[in-house]
């Protein structure tokens, strides 16, 4: 056998070259994605860090025409609305996921999955208008209406991630539970859910992170609020996204810096939630032997 | 086909003395049997091993339109260990999974015919499927302890819904662990995660878990196929001890194992029952040519 056959030439040379080009292109694409994130986070950090202070975090928004002020009312408002939304969406989402993965027949589970995907794709402004017609039109804006809209946005995220995680629980465990004569619902409560707990928590946290920055429905449902820290969900509540939106529309440069600072807070919150979610997910996968 | 296992060696017999406590010392209590809804649940059952007889009558099992088990009629004697051998895909596992009605859990799977436990048809519509599984326990191919539970919680997992007190649970767990020959190895780490045990220990934990519910019958679906020879030997010794208290049906690919543990051996091929008889007869002087070819390694 001639050594030439084993050398990098002719057809083999061309194939190696193509391989290098494709590999390079995908590396560049991956770096681009990382770069976009770094640029966004970096610019928010640079422009917002100046206005960030304890005072900014602990003072309510300044009245129109006054300077100073902060976002304490927006933080509290976002906390209340997202919290209420989570209280509504997470239990329902988990139950939907348990139903589709553990109890429903395949013929029922598939349509439900499809409907959840559709719901996930509904533009949030449409969810906002729907809730507006339901709870606000003819009455007044409220934090509760906003949390209902956020809950509708969260529901498919919670349910779909929970479905994915529950299907990861090894069938052998469910079999083991059934073979012990443990009733199906108890097997779900005692075996399937604890095994998947970390992953389920991940889904819930990601859903929270997703709606914490949701803006469109809030513009319709909770954007005209009284000054100061408000905690009553029956009235409109301030929120970080609305603060960013309104401050960035203001002509004052100070308001712009404040908008950047609020954006920084929001990004930091979402980032932390995502990291925590990752940690839980990794643990959960390990437990399930995946 | 792993019908021959050259790694099995008689040398290992001498090591690892089993716990000395007699696993059957305090097993004199009675247990509820499967009962038809509306009839008294607990019939006092004597430990004379006249209970726990399984009889299959014209059993067929399907996956969709594929008939995996074909019209099998067969009895499992409560006093004996029965091994089921046959090439992969011959319906051994499927047949066994029909006995505790696990087969029907699979989408599209169904069965025909009767499975009688002490004369009671387990497929009678009045029979509760959960009760069937409490009477007919199962140990799977791969050890599958519940990963979120400690050793002791794994053992009591099947018991906890009876509302037994903590003390009672501990007693039953201890009894089951002793019965599974695991007590001495885990008594100091009962609260440690069950998944942290070695593979062989995990499998004996699964046996303890199945025993804790006090079944009449214990189905073992290739219980040693994921274990090393030492762990395998321990399980085989355990089977010999357990046959006093439960009817044992063991599916195995390992013919030496069948020869070592079983009193009766069943040979299946293509979903059909080919031959059933005393183990030594099946291995030395089978009636059917196909059995002879299989046990001598000519096919499969």
The strand pairing partners of B121, in sequence order, are B116
Q: How far apart are CA B293 and CA A275, in angstroms?
A: 61
Q: Exposed e or buried b for every residue in A111-131, given b needs 16+ CB within 10 A? A: ebbeebeebeeeebeebbbbb
pLDDT at residue B214 in the model: 87
Three-class DSSP category at B121: strand
Average pLDDT for A161-167: 91
For residue B210, what is the nearest residue in chain A, using CA coordinates? A180
Helix count (H) and strand count (E) of chain A?
Answer: 12, 0
On whether any CB of chain A is under 8 Å from the CB of B133, the answer is yes
Below-50 pLDDT ranges, chain B: 1-33, 35, 37-47
Half-sphere exposure of A95 (CA within 13 A, CB side): 6
Closest in B107, B133, B140 to A172, CB measured = B140
Do A178 and B147 make contact, defined as CB atoms within 8 angstroms?
A: no
Torsion angle in degrees (nearest 10) through CA of B130, B136, B139, B141: -90
Alpha carbons B97 and A179: distance in angstroms, whole number: 10
Q: What is the mean pLDDT of residues A5-19?
A: 81
On the question of pLDDT at A97 being above 50, the answer is: yes
Identify which of B100, B157, B206 has the shortest CB distance to residue A190. B157
Residues 248-287 of A with CB under 8 A from B: 287
Alpha carbon distances (Å) from A121 to A87, A114, A135, A221: 22, 11, 22, 20
Q: A278 near A198, Cβ under 8 Å?
A: no
Helices (H), A122-170: 124-131, 143-168
A176/B140 touch (CB, cutoff 8 Å), yes or no: yes
Q: Which residues make Cβ contacts (< 8 Å) with residue A225, sequence separation at least 6?
A: A73, A77, A141, A235, A236, A237, A238
Q: Does A181 touch chain B (CB under 8 A)?
A: yes
Find the helix or strand (DSSP H, E) in which B70 lies: strand B66-76
* Mean pLDDT of the region A79-103: 94
Task: For residue A228, give the DSSP letter.
Answer: S
What token pair was written down for B275? 């031959």
Residue A44 near residue A267, CB atoms below 8 Å: yes
Task: Give the largest Cα separation in chain A, rounded.
Answer: 88
pLDDT digits (tens, 9 = 90+) for A240-290: 999 999 988 888 888 888 899 999 999 999 999 989 988 888 887 777 664
pLDDT band at residue A1, thresholds of 50, 70 and 90?
Answer: low
Confidence of residue A3 (pLDDT cuts 50, 70, 90): low
Q: Are A207 and A154 in contact (CB under 8 A)?
A: yes
Question: What average pLDDT does the segment A119-133 reach?
Answer: 94
Q: Are A83 and A143 in contact (CB under 8 A)?
A: no
- Asked if residue A202 lies in contact with residue A157, where contact means CB atoms within 8 angstroms, the answer is no
Q: Contacts of residue A198 in chain B, CB cutoff 8 Å?
A: none
In this prediction the ipTM stands at 0.74
Contact call for residues B77 and B247 (beta carbons, < 8 A): yes
B102 interaction partners in chain A (CB closer than 8 Å): 175, 178-179
Residues B258 and A187: their CA atoms lie apart, in Å, by 33
| 3-state class (DSSP) for residue A169 | coil
Is B285 in the A-facing interface, judged by CB distances under 8 Å? no
Q: What are the tens digits of pLDDT across the range B130-178?
A: 889 989 999 999 999 998 899 999 999 888 866 677 888 888 899 899 8
- Check if A195 contacts B (Cβ < 8 Å): yes
Decide if A179 and B102 are in contact by the 8 Å CB cutoff: yes
Distance CA A116, CA A33 (A): 28
Contact list, B142 vs chain A (CB under 8 Å) = 172
3-state secondary structure of B249: strand
pTM: 0.75
Block residue for tokens 């247990």: B31
Which pLDDT belongs to residue B41?
Answer: 40
Cβ B217 vs Cβ B99: under 8 Å: yes
Q: Shortest Cα distance from B197 to chain A (angstroms)?
A: 14
Packing angle, helices A240-249 and A72-98, rounded to 10? 130
**Which residue has better confidence, A232 or B265?**
B265
Give the integer Cα–Cα distance in Å for A30 and A27. Answer: 5
Round to the nearest angstrom and report the end-to-end CA distance of chain A. Answer: 46
């Amino acid at each position: 056998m001639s050594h030439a056959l084993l050398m990098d030439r002719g057809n083999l040379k061309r194939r190696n070259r193509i391989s290098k080009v494709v590999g390079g292109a995908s590396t560049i694409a991956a770096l681009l994605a990382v770069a976009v994130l770094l640029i966004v986070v970096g610019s928010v950090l640079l422009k917002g860090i100046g206005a960030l202070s304890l005072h900014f975090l602990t003072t309510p928004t300044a009245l129109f025409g006054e300077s100073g002020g902060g976002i304490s009312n927006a933080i509290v408002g976002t906390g209340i609305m997202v919290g209420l939304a989570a209280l509504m969406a997470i239990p329902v989402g988990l139950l939907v996921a348990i139903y589709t993965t553990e109890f429903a027949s395949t013929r029922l589970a598939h349509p439900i999955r499809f409907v959840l995907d559709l719901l996930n794709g509904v533009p949030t402004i449409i969810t906002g208008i729907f809730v507006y017609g339901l709870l606000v039109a003819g009455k007044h804006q409220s934090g509760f209406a906003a949390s209902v809209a956020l809950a509708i946005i969260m529901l498919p995220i919670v349910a779909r991630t929970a479905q994915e995680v529950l299907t990861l629980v090894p069938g052998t465990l469910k079999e083991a539970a059934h073979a012990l004569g443990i009733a199906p619902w108890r097997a779900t409560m005692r075996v399937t859910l604890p095994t998947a707990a970390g992953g389920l928590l991940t889904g819930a946290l990601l859903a929270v992170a997703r709606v914490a920055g949701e803006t469109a429905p809030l513009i319709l449902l909770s954007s005209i609020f009284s000054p100061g820290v408000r905690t009553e969900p029956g009235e409109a509540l301030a929120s970080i996204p609305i603060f960013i939106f309104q401050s960035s529309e203001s002509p004052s440069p100070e308001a712009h810096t404040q908008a950047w600072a609020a954006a920084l807070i929001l990004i930091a919150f979402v980032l932390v939630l995502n990291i925590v979610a990752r940690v839980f997910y990794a643990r959960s996968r390990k437990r399930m032997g995946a | 086909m792993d019908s021959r296992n050259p790694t099995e060696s008689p040398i290992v017999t001498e090591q690892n003395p089993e716990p000395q406590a007699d696993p059957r010392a305090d097993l004199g209590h009675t247990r509820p049997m499967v009962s038809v809804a509306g009839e008294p649940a607990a019939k006092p059952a004597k430990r004379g091993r006249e209970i726990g007889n399984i009889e299959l009558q014209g059993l067929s099992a399907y996956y969709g339109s594929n008939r995996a088990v074909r019209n099998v009629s067969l009895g499992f004697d409560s006093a004996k260990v029965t091994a089921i051998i046959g090439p992969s895909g011959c319906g051994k596992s499927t047949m066994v999974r029909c006995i505790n009605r696990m087969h029907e859990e699979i989408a599209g799977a169904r069965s025909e015919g009767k499975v009688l436990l002490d004369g009671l048809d387990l497929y009678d519509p009045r029979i509760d499927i959960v009760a069937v599984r409490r009477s007919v326990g199962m140990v799977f191919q791969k050890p599958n302890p519940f990963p979120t539970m400690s050793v002791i919680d794994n053992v009591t997992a099947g018991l906890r819904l009876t509302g037994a007190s903590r003390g009672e649970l501990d007693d039953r767990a201890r009894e089951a662990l002793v019965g599974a020959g695991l007590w001495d190895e885990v008594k100091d780490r009962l609260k440690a995660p069950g998944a942290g045990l070695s593979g062989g220990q995990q499998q004996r934990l699964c046996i303890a878990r199945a025993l804790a519910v006090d079944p009449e019958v214990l189905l073992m679906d290739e219980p040693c196929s994921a274990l090393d020879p030492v762990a395998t030997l321990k399980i085989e010794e355990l089977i010999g001890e357990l046959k006093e208290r439960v009817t044992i049906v063991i599916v195995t690919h390992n013919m030496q194992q069948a020869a070592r543990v079983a009193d009766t051996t069943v040979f299946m091929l293509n979903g059909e029952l080919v031959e059933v008889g005393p183990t030594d007869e099946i291995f030395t002087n089978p009636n059917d040519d196909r059995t002879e070819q299989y046990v001598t390694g000519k096919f499969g």
